[in-house]
Chain A
Amino acid sequence: MNISRYIEDNQVSATSGLAIDEMLASRVGTGQSPQTLRLYTYKSHCALVGRFQNIESELNLDYCLEHGISVNRRPTGGGAIIMGSEQLGVALAIPGKSDDSYAGVREQMARFSRGIVAGLSSLGCSIEFRRKNDLEIAGKKIAGLGLHRTPSGGLLFHASLLVDLDVPLMLNVLNTPFEKLSDKEISTVAERTTTVRREVGENLSVDEVREKILEGYQEAFQVDIQKGNYSDAELVEAQNLENSKYLDKNWIYQTTDVPDSTGKAKVKTAGGLLDVRMVLAGKMIKSTFIGGDFFTSENAIADLEQSLRWHSSQSKLILGTINKVYKRWSDDLATLPQEALIRALEMALKRAEVSAKKVAVDPYGCFVSPGSVHV
């Protein structure tokens, strides 16, 4: 890689932030723009769903409207996120080889995130790239990653790095499997994610983190990245893309044929009640929440939950993943019997599948084919 340009933006709108990222990747693909690292923040706050997610399933749109939170759709995959002045957007626009269109996703994600790993390591964080393409510290997610290949052959690598996170706001914006949002749920979620400030220090500024990430990319790729600006042609193209795509309701409210469904199960164990909730996208596990009144390490539970994100719902594959996590946290998970967890997961999964079948039989409001305006 020969990343030569660095661009810094602050407080961008959702539509502009997304349009500039895509414009850069598209132009790098055709050789019209230099390989670029962009480190930027959004205006607080916006909620961005993954490329194919149903926005009405993912977000509490009434809450967003009431609180002036703009909503939009990323070109990259993954789940819904909130972005604002304390979440750092990392966008890398680089060329992709045309003959590797679908190849080596995990390898590429790990490679492109090396700059973030190097930057946060220099702040003293023991950060690692794991599983479904996330950056984690001791099992807790600190940054979500996504990748988009443009039709022109450009690649957009994107990361949302949590310098800080307003957990109650996030839980109000995102639709969660919780029946109600109590202090307990809020503290549980807060314990299972982490932020740069929590790891390094509360006084750390976004600019200090940004500086370290820039240095991290320079070190990881041995490149001299010069601060630059957008060209006039780039700004025109980004504005056109913003108008034609990211301000277009057909893009933002696009739906998918893959149905979402939810299942939950409660199982009594010797250590206490185990409460499992699972959300499926088709036959893929989109997210899992493991709660209850048993006592164990939040890191171990966070690791279990993260391991089951974007995971196949095939029983044997779930079993394999659970076995690995139990081996990793054998002491911490001793109070949560493995067979009870597996039973609860299977029950929740079956209930989600039954719920999906019911929706398929009565598809009112569902399975709307995506519009063909934006492929």
Chain B
Amino acid sequence: MKQQFKFKPGFYYNSNHLWIKEDDSGQLLVGMDELGLDSMGELAYLMLPTVGSPVELGKAMGSIEAAKMTSELIAPLSGIVMERNEAALRNPLLVNEKPYDEGWLVRIEPTQWAVEANTMISGDQVTAWWNEEIERFETQGMLD
């Protein structure tokens, strides 16, 4: 079972199963990881913040629907939205199918990343956390 779900090395993760990837320009790409997506099911709808709008760590930045559950997307960092994935907005299944690349959600110009990066799981911590999460999800019957 554990081999079934993969994380991407070098990314940052949080307990909501969102990932953050730093790019060369200093902007940050945000997406959802395989484990969170599997437990939710296929995304039917997705709503993302408009380009230019501010987002704040811990506050709603959009919303999703999967398997008839709706939920807010909680921002994993603070900053300004520079780009949103229009292809995923039109076809949210792209997020399920290619979560770590073409299924990204938003690109953000961070305002407090130096501090907020500490709220994320990264580097050597990721493998242990990922395995613990798989066990937790399996124990609680959250995986299909």
The reply to whether B68 and A258 contact each other, CB–CB distance below 8 Å, is no
Which residue of chain B has its CB nearest to the CB of A254? B47
Which residues of B have CB within 8 Å of A100? 140, 142
Interface residues on B, range: 35 or more
A282 nearest CB across to chain B (Å): 5
Kindly state whether residue B69 has any CB partner on chain A within 8 Å. Answer: yes
Within the assembled complex, what's the spacing in Å between the Cα atoms of A52 and B42? Answer: 15
Contact of A77 among B32, B36, B45 (CB under 8 A): B45
A193 proximal to B (CB < 8 A): no
Q: What residues on A are CB-neighbors of B44 within 8 Å?
A: 52, 77, 258, 281-282, 284, 310
A residues within 8 A CB of B67? 77, 105-106, 109, 132-133, 310
Whether the Cβ atoms of B141 and A77 lie closer than 8 Å is no
Q: Is the Cβ of A145 less than 8 Å from the Cβ of B15? A: no
Determine whether the beta carbon of B50 is less than 8 Å from that of A148: no
A105, A256, A375: the one within 8 Å of B66 (CB): A105
B44-76 CB contacts (< 8 Å) to partner A: 44-47, 49-50, 53, 59-72, 74
Q: Are A148 and B89 in contact (CB under 8 A)?
A: no
Complex CA–CA separation, A283 to B60 (angstroms): 26
A107 interface residue per 8 A CB criterion = yes
Question: Does A101 lie at the interface of the complex (its beta carbon under 8 Å from any beta carbon of B)?
Answer: yes
Could you list 27 examples of A-B contacts with CB < 8 Å?
Answer: A51-B63, A77-B45, A77-B70, A101-B15, A102-B17, A102-B66, A103-B40, A104-B140, A104-B142, A105-B39, A105-B66, A107-B142, A108-B69, A109-B68, A132-B68, A148-B69, A149-B70, A151-B60, A257-B90, A258-B44, A258-B92, A284-B93, A310-B44, A310-B67, A360-B90, A370-B47, A375-B61
| Chain B residues near A133 (CB-CB < 8 A) | 67-68
* Residues of chain A with a CB closer than 8 A to B59's CB: 151
Whether A367 contacts B90 in the complex (CB less than 8 A), given A101-B16, A133-B67, comes out as: yes
Q: B16–A146 contact, CB under 8 A?
A: no
Are A51 and B65 interface neighbours, CB within 8 A?
yes
Residues 94-143 (chain A) with a chain B CB within 8 angstroms: 99-109, 132-133
Given A105-B67, A258-B92, A369-B50; A375-B60 close (CB under 8 Å): yes
Are A52 and B91 touching (Cβ within 8 A)? no
- Min CB distance, B129 to chain A, in Å? 12
A68–chain B nearest beta-carbon distance, Å: 28
Which of B16, B90, B137, B140 contacts A282 (CB under 8 A)?
B90
